Chains A and B, each alone.
Chain A
Amino acid sequence: MSNRIVVPFGPQHPVLPEPIHLDLVLEDERVVEAIPTIGYVHRGLEKLVEKRDYKDYVLIAERICGICSFTHSVTYCNAIEHIMGVEVPPRAQFIRTIWMEYSRMHSHLLWLGLAADAMGFENLFMNAWRLREEILDDMEATTGGRVIQGTCKVGGIRRDIGDDKLGEMVDHLKKIRPLLEESNRIFTHDQTVRHRMRGLSVLSEKDAWDLGAVGPVARGSGCDMDVRSSGYSAYGELGFKPVTFSHGDCLDRCLVRSEEVLASVDLVERAVAKMPDGPIEEKVTGNPEGECFAFSEQPRGECLHYVRANGKKNIVRHRVRTPTFTNVPPLVKLLEGIELADVPVVVLTIDPCIGCCDR
């Protein structure tokens, strides 16, 4: 058609904290096609395995992304531990799980804030970030870092959390739970939010499977897929159930995340109640030899780390497939047929984490 125009979106754009570029082909106000360009923050860190000791590399794996940082380091360690047949002590597994759930809470609250900002709901944005700071306080008190923790190591963890601190953390979560519920109520009931998101960009369950959607994007469309169900780390003992919604629109993708924050609070409470005693690390000697795929559920979805080692202290190949990368094809589908003004909201609903995506 003759009246098609192409509008560039990004890489430097006010609603995106990170660079991604989309060429939006418009017909009047409607998007007919979206062509993504990624790779703006590509560093090439997978190749660094050839220069770093496999144990030091945990710290680099953690810096794939500053939001799911802890989950990345755990997944990488899981792969190495599997290759080397290291049995991680149960207390370390439980504490890892607690930190992973704290990452999830802070990541989802961060996202809920950004989504509110994209809708122009400034108050809700600030509120979500204020709650997130409460979560980060406990994270900082236990690991020493707000966003990059550096407490995971091959064979276990670097720091223990004392039993009284665990009790304090649970008390703190009990205190902020009503605030979280209050903020969730705004997402479920507020007119502005419903008006902007209900029925916008529907992804059917079939499309979600076909296009390889993962994480909250898939669960918002009714796909019951969550790697935590497989019971890695301590999830198997915590009676985990995935949160799913069925409409597949922007609001449901949003509600999956707001509900998951509460589910994470529950998981942390259960993990603290069942916390086993014992050592927090297993001595690891020698070098890995073999290969392994390790999966984990990050705040944004399923993440995969592939490691191949040949018995030297440097690993031969490390490959990461991150959730944002797999969620780009569903995003392209979601953008078709919507109005230009809705593009920022829809792009945000896949929770793009470009640091992960480009590595």
Chain B
Amino acid sequence: MSYITKSPWIIHYDGSSCNGCDIEVLACLTPLYDLERFGIVNTGNPKHADVFLVTGGINAQSEAVVKNTYEQMPDPKVVVAVGICACTGGVFRECYNIIGGVDKVIPVDVYVPGCAARPESIIDGVVRALGILEEKRAKMAEKGGK
């Protein structure tokens, strides 16, 4: 993980999940998996966050909240869709109130499959997202330098 130059902070929002993925996201932060040892901190404030974890598909109520949270995050930012619901709508994709996966409303960088997504795969997804974050940062610096 030598490419991490900054402690990445994450923010989590529950689009319309069944909780299964949410508690696995939280489990990543607690002693067994302990993401905090890499400096990854869960924050409640979108303005502090670099990584946006979304669980669950998007429904009519959460659409605006997800968009809003994404827009409030400073650049560069990455979005991780956690769980099959967030990727495609999952078992609920035919429900009348589900619009679909997270990529229907905001651009998604990493998809983490699984129902519920296991903490190991969530961590893997976050680590991949950090690589993408670093690339985006480098691109921004290049643009700024020109």
User: Chain A: residues with CB nearer than 8 A to chain B?
Assistant: 11-14, 17-19, 39-45, 47-48, 51, 59-60, 63-67, 69, 110, 113, 125-126, 129-130, 133, 145-148, 353-356, 358
Contacts and interface: CB of A to CB of B under 8 A. Distances in A.
- Residue of A65, A69, A129, A130 most packed against chain B (CB within 10 A): A129
A282 B14 CA distance: 38
A339 B12 CA distance: 27
B16 A42 contact: yes
Given A11-B65, A48-B95, A41 B14 contact: yes
Contact of A126 (B31, B95, B98): B31
A108 to B, nearest CB: 13
Contacts, number: 122
Given A12-B69, A18-B22, A44 B44 contact: no
B97 interface: yes
B77 interface: no
Contact of A44 (B43, B45, B98): B98
Contacts of B7: none
State the 7 A-B residue pairs at the shortest beta-carbon distance, nearest first: A66-B20, A14-B44, A66-B19, A129-B30, A355-B19, A44-B97, A44-B95
B18 interface: yes
Given A18-B22, A63-B91, A65-B18, A42 B118 contact: no
Contact of B96 (A19, A39, A44): A44
Interface stretch (B53-61, B102-110, B129-137, B138-146): B53-61
Contacts of A48: 92, 94-95
Interface residues of B, number: 39
Contact of B95 (A11, A40, A45, A148): A45
Given A129-B27, A146-B24, 17 more contacts: A14-B44, A17-B19, A18-B19, A43-B59, A44-B97, A45-B92, A59-B91, A67-B19, A67-B23, A113-B30, A146-B116, A146-B118, A147-B19, A147-B20, A148-B18, A353-B19, A355-B17
Contacts of B24: 146-147
- Residue of B32, B44, B57, B95 most packed against chain A (CB within 10 A): B95
A145 B91 contact: no
- Residue of A42, A66, A145 most packed against chain B (CB within 10 A): A66
B120 to A, nearest CB: 11
B31 to A, nearest CB: 4
B9 interface: no
14 contacts: A17-B19, A17-B22, A17-B26, A40-B14, A45-B92, A60-B91, A65-B19, A66-B19, A66-B23, A66-B116, A133-B31, A147-B23, A147-B116, A355-B18
Nearest to B22: A17
A268 B46 CA distance: 43
B4 interface: no
Contacts of B45: 14
Contacts of B94: 48, 51
A13 B42 CA distance: 12
Interface string B57-96: 1010110010001000000000000000000000110111
